[in-house]
Amino acid sequence: MHIGFLGLGNMGGPMARNLLKAGHQLSVFDLSPAALASLVEAGAQQAASPAAVAQAGVEVIISMLPAAAHVRQVYLGEDGLLSRVPANVLLIDCSTIDPMTAREVAAAAASKGNPMLDAPVSGGTGGAAAGTLTFMVGGKEADFRQAEPILAAMGKNIVHCGDSGNGQVAKVANNLLLGISMIGAAEAMSLGVALGMDAKVLAGVINSSSGRCWSSEIYNPFPEVVENSPASRGYSGGFGADLMLKDLGLASEAAKQTRQPIILGAVAQQLYQAFSLQGNGALDFSAIIKLYRQEH
Ligand code: NAD
């Protein structure tokens, strides 16, 4: 299949490569010449703008952009996708953005005769490279069925979450819980160790008791508790604290729209914000435990 792909960064680059590996033909665009060159070298055709991707004869267009402003620009802007895309070309935005923008852009696409899905991912850059991402997809059932085999070349878990915007809703709700639960795990581990317990023994007790969660078991923020976790390699790699801060900001904006209280989410957002201000935004988000412990 001939597919258009926009946004070839840390996530989009490896995702596009997996589409090439699956035998698809790709027309690609990115503002970064280096990102473009790397995909062209891998076999993709370069396009000069989003509008040029739209006119390259593609059947499906996928985007993986930093934030809502970029999505608006690429789809709705002058020389944007919707200015030129032929009707019926399926549009799939995999960026993590707020559900309201996702719904607004999908409605604009529908008015031009283009079905659109929001399909944010979890699994990080490792999952993007390995083709094991989880896709949370919002949009019409028939459009989801059309997208499923294409997304399967980039991920292993593809979930239809309901109507337009619901993929973003699922992503925002999951990452809200993740941001909060990581702080909870950091707090409990730090308290236990400060009171004299061995970190590994404590984690073992928590993980076979009712406090167990992904943040305590798979991704424990205390160093040397989980082998190969970011905490055991100086909090490098993984999911950056600034990316968690971005996602908590999306949760906060979405909550405001519906007047839904997210009390612990607001506290978590402020903690990651303070942590980022201290220069830690590039560290894995589990490094938030540093707020609770003296540096050794
Ligand atoms: P990135 O900054 O590495 O890549 C974004 C790419 O988009 C860049 O190459 C940039 O040049 C390009 N771009 C920006 N504006 C553009 C425009 N107008 N036209 C064309 N290209 C444009 O970001 P990333 O890490 O790949 O993340 C992409 C999305 O995936 C974000 O929404 C992020 O929240 C989400 N996400 C990231 C991770 C992760 O671990 N990195 C995990 C899950 C979800």
Residue with CA closest to ligand 1 atom 39:
124
Q: Which atom of ligand 1 is nearest to the CA of 29?
A: 20
Separation of CA 83 from chain center: 27
| Residue 102 amino acid letter | A
The answer to whether position 296 is within a domain reads no
Q: Across the strands, what pairs with 61?
A: 4, 91
CATH number at residue 132: 3.40.50.720
The verdict on 82 and 210 lying in the same domain is no
Its domain, for residue 96, covers 2-164
Return the pLDDT at 251.
97
Residue 114 resides in a domain: yes
CA 213 – ligand 1 centroid, Å: 28
Q: Which residue puts its alpha carbon closest to atom 15 of ligand 1?
A: 70
CA distance 84 to 230: 44
**Residue 186 in domain:** yes
In terms of domains, do 245 and 125 share one?
no
Domain end (from 115, 130, 164)? 164
Residues 160 and 182 in one domain: no
On whether both 43 and 78 belong to a single domain, the answer is: yes
Cα 13 from Cα 36, distance rounded (Å): 9
- Supply the pLDDT for residue 246: 95
Ligand 1: residue whose CA is nearest its atom 25: 10
Ligand 1 pocket check for 66: Cβ under 6 Å: yes
Shortest-distance atom of ligand 1 to CA 11: 26
Is any ligand 1 atom within 6 A of the Cβ of residue 30?
A: yes
Residues 140 and 33 in one domain: yes
Is 256 marked active-site? no
**70 in contact with ligand 1, CB cutoff 6 A:** yes
The answer for residues whose C-beta is within 8 angstroms of residue 103's C-beta and 6 or more apart is: 164, 165
Residues of the chain with pLDDT under 50: none
Ligand 1 center–CA 203 separation, angstroms: 34
Residue 144 maps to a domain? yes
* Shared-domain flag, residues 196 and 103: no
Rounded to whole angstroms, the Cα distance separating 82 from 51 reads 8
pLDDT for the residue numbered 237: 83
Q: How far is the CA of 30 from the centre of ligand 1 (A)?
A: 10
Is 126 near ligand 1, meaning CB less than 6 Å away?
no
Shared domain for 133 and 234, answered yes or no, is no
pLDDT in tens, 60-95: 999 999 999 999 999 999 989 999 999 999 999 999
Radius of gyration for the chain, computed over Cα atoms and rounded to the nearest angstrom: 20
Number of folded domains that form the chain: 2
Which residue among the candidates 171, 200, 256, 290 is catalytic per the annotation? 171
Say what the pLDDT of residue 295 is.
72
pLDDT at 296 (0 to 100): 57
For 181-204, write each residue's pLDDT tens digit: 999 999 999 999 999 999 999 999
